[in-house]
């Protein structure tokens, strides 16, 4: 189990944890938020 986790994106692991404990809807919202945040950072760096 631990070797599997080290190969995956920590963000995805976190979202899987959220989905498992709090539901897919919240995980999807979080994913959208994180992706938006990431995109905003990318624009600022250019």
Cα separation of 42 and 19, whole Å? Answer: 26
Structure tokens at 23: 């539901």
pLDDT in the model for residue 1: 43
Beta strands in the chain (DSSP E): none
pLDDT in the model for residue 46: 60
Cα separation of 46 and 34, whole Å? Answer: 19
pTM of the full structure: 0.57
Q: Are 5 and 13 in contact (CB under 8 A)?
A: yes
pLDDT in the model for residue 30: 92
Q: Is 33 left (phi over 0), alpha (psi -120 to 50) or beta?
A: alpha
* pLDDT by 10-residue block (mean), the chain, 46 residues: 62 89 94 87 72
């Amino acid at each position: 189990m631990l070797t599997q986790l080290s190969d995956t994106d920590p963000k995805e692991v976190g979202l899987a944890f959220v989905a498992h404990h709090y539901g897919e809807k919240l995980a999807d919202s979080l994913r959208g938020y994180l992706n938006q945040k990431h995109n905003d950072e990318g624009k600022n760096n250019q």
